[in-house]
Amino acid sequence: MAKAEKNETAATAKQTQISQSYWSLVWWKFKRNRVAVIGGIILLVFYFSFVFIPEILSPYALENSSDYTEAGPTRIHFIDQDGKFHLRPFIYGVEKKIDFTTRKRIFIEDTTKVYPIQFMVHGDAYKLLGLIPMDIHLYGVDQKTNPDARVLILGADALGRDWFTRIMYGGRLSLMIGLIGQFLTLFFGTTMGVVSGYYGGWVDMVIQRTTEFLGAFPDIPLFMALAAAIPSFWSPLAVYFMLTLILSFVRWGGLARQVRGMILSLREREYVLAAKSAGANDNRLMFRHLLPGTMSHVVVIATLSIPGMILAETALSWLGLGLRPPLTSWGVLLQDAATVRAIHNTPWELWTVPFIIVTILAYNMLGDGLRDALDPYGSR
C-alpha cells in the first residue's frame, strides 16, 4: 500500500517536471550558478537598502552638518580604559585641536566621555518612501542626551556630514539612473530595432545610419555638448532626468542593431506568415509575435549594460557635467574626493569606490548567469 502510494507520488512528481514552463527551467538553471545568485543577492540588498531605506540605515539626515569637519572615521570600542569588556559598543567623545605644523584639524579621543552606541535609536526625522513619518535609525548615539557625540563610521566631509550617510543617499540616484536610463534605452532600442528589421528598405537604412552616426561620435564630447545644452537654471532634479534621457539617447544604437539582426532572421519564420494570414497587422506582427522572440537576449544585454549606465553617470558627474550638488550621487561624491588634498587629508572619502566596484561586479555576475540560464540552445 505504502509502496503504491510512493509510486504515485513519484509519478505526479515526474508529471509536474515534464510540464515545467520555460521560466521555471530558466530559474532552475540560474539557481545552480552560484556566482550569479550571489550577484543577484548583492543587487537586491543594494537596491533595497539604497533606494528604499537609506533613511533607516544611515544614522543622520543627508544634510545634517556638524562641526566635525573632515573628521576621520570614529573608532568603535568594546573594551574600555580599565580593560573591561562591554557587550554594547561605545565611542569616546573627541576634542578638536589644530596641528600648527600641518595646519590641519585633529580630533583626539577624550576617554572620560563615553557614549554608548544604540540600535534603533530615535534621531533626525524623515519620511520613509516620502510618505511615512519616522525617526528611527538603525544605529547611532542618542542625540537628545548626548548632542555632542557623533558616530561617523566612514568619517565626515568638509561640512561635517557623515560620509556613510552620503554614500547611502548617493546610491539611490546612481542606482536609479542605471535602471531608468536602461529602461529608456530598452524602449528606444527595441522599438527602433524591430521597426528597422521588420520593414527593411529605406526605413532600415535611415535607422541604421542614425545608429552609426551616434556610434561614431566620441562619447565624452557628445555628452559634454548635450550636457552643456541643459539650461543652468533648471532644478537639479530636472537636470537628473535630462541626463538619463541623454544617456539613453546616446546608447540605444547598439541594442537596436542586435534586435534588428534577430528580427531579420525571425521575420522569415513561418509563424509570421501564419499570423499574417490570420489577419494580423504590422504592429501586431512586430510587437506581439516578433518582439517576444528577442526578449531573452534583450534581458541579458540590458543587465550587462546597466553598469555602463552607472559608470557613465559617475564619470559625467565626476567631470562636473552630470549631477551637481546639492544632489548626491556616487559621481558627485567622487568629485569631492578627486583632489590631491582630499586624498591626502580625507582618504576615507574614497570609500565610495568599493561601493561602485561591488555594484558593477554584481551586475556582471548576474548578467553572465542570466545569459547562461536564458539561452535555450546552451549545451549545459
Partner 1 sequence: MSEPLIEVKDLRVEFDVRAGIVKAVDGLSMTVNRGKTLGVIGESGCGKSITARAILNMIPKPGKITHGEIIYHRRLKSDDGLTQMDDIIDLAKTDPDGKLIRQIRGGEIGMIFQEPMSSLTPVFTAGTHINEAVSLHHLIPIRKVGDQIAEKVMAHRKVTKEEARVIAIEMLHRVGIPKPDQRVDSYPHQLSGGQRQRVMIAIALSCEPSMLIADEPTTALDVSIEAQILDIMRDLQQSVNMAIMFITHNLGVISSMAEEIVVMYMGKAVEQGKVIEIFQNPKHPYTQALLRSIPKLGKKAAGERLATISGMVPDPFNLPTGCVFHPRCPLFMPGKCDKVVPKWTKVGDEHWANCLLYEEA
Question: According to CB under 8 A, which residues from 25 to 44 bind partner 1?
Answer: none
Query: Is residue 83 within 8 Å of residue 47, measured between CB atoms?
Result: no
Nearest approach in angstroms of CB 377 to partner 1 is: 13
Among 275, 304, 315, 319, binds partner 1 (CB under 8 A): 275
Q: Is 16 in the site for partner 1 (CB under 8 A)?
A: no
Binding segment for partner 1 (CB under 8 A), chosen from 88-96, 234-242, 274-282, 352-360, is 274-282
Question: According to CB under 8 A, which residues from 286 to 305 bind partner 1?
Answer: 288-289, 292-293, 295
Q: Is 278 in the site for partner 1 (CB under 8 A)?
A: yes
Nearest approach in angstroms of CB 71 to partner 1 is: 58
Distance between CA atoms of residues 75 and 29, nearest Å: 45
In the bound state with partner 1, the residue whose beta carbon lies nearer, of 292 and 320, is 292
Among 86, 187, 282, 325, binds partner 1 (CB under 8 A): 282
Among 270, 326, 379, 380, binds partner 1 (CB under 8 A): 270
Q: Is 63 in the site for partner 1 (CB under 8 A)?
A: no
Phi and psi at residue 162, to the nearest 5°: -65, 125
Among 16, 19, 101, 145, binds partner 1 (CB under 8 A): 19
Q: Which three cell numbers stand for residue 337?
A: 574626493
Distance between CA atoms of residues 286 and 275, nearest Å: 11
Nearest approach in angstroms of CB 328 to partner 1 is: 42
Distance between CA atoms of residues 348 and 242, nearest Å: 31
Query: Is residue 155 within 8 Å of residue 346, measured between CB atoms?
Result: yes
Query: Is residue 215 within 8 Å of residue 346, measured between CB atoms?
Result: no
Binding segment for partner 1 (CB under 8 A), chosen from 1-9, 25-33, 57-65, 280-288, is 280-288
Distance between CA atoms of residues 335 and 163, nearest Å: 13
In the bound state with partner 1, the residue whose beta carbon lies nearer, of 34 and 288, is 288
Q: Which three cell numbers stand for residue 251?
A: 546608447
Closest CA to 286 of 272, 299, 298: 272
Among 16, 101, 112, 277, binds partner 1 (CB under 8 A): 277
Nearest approach in angstroms of CB 192 to partner 1 is: 20
At residue 93, the 3 state secondary structure works out as strand
Distance between CA atoms of residues 229 and 224, nearest Å: 8
In the bound state with partner 1, the residue whose beta carbon lies nearer, of 291 and 321, is 291
Q: Is 125 in the site for partner 1 (CB under 8 A)?
A: no
Q: Is 135 in the site for partner 1 (CB under 8 A)?
A: no
At residue 25, the 3 state secondary structure works out as helix
Around 282, how many Cα atoms within 13 Å sit in the side-chain half-sphere? 7
Distance between CA atoms of residues 360 and 357, nearest Å: 5
Q: Is 378 in the site for partner 1 (CB under 8 A)?
A: no
In the bound state with partner 1, the residue whose beta carbon lies nearer, of 56 and 280, is 280
Distant-in-sequence, close-in-space partners of 338: CB < 8 Å, separation ≥ 6: 318
Q: Which residues bind partner 1 (CB under 8 A)?
A: 19, 21-22, 269-271, 273-282, 284, 288-289, 292-293, 295
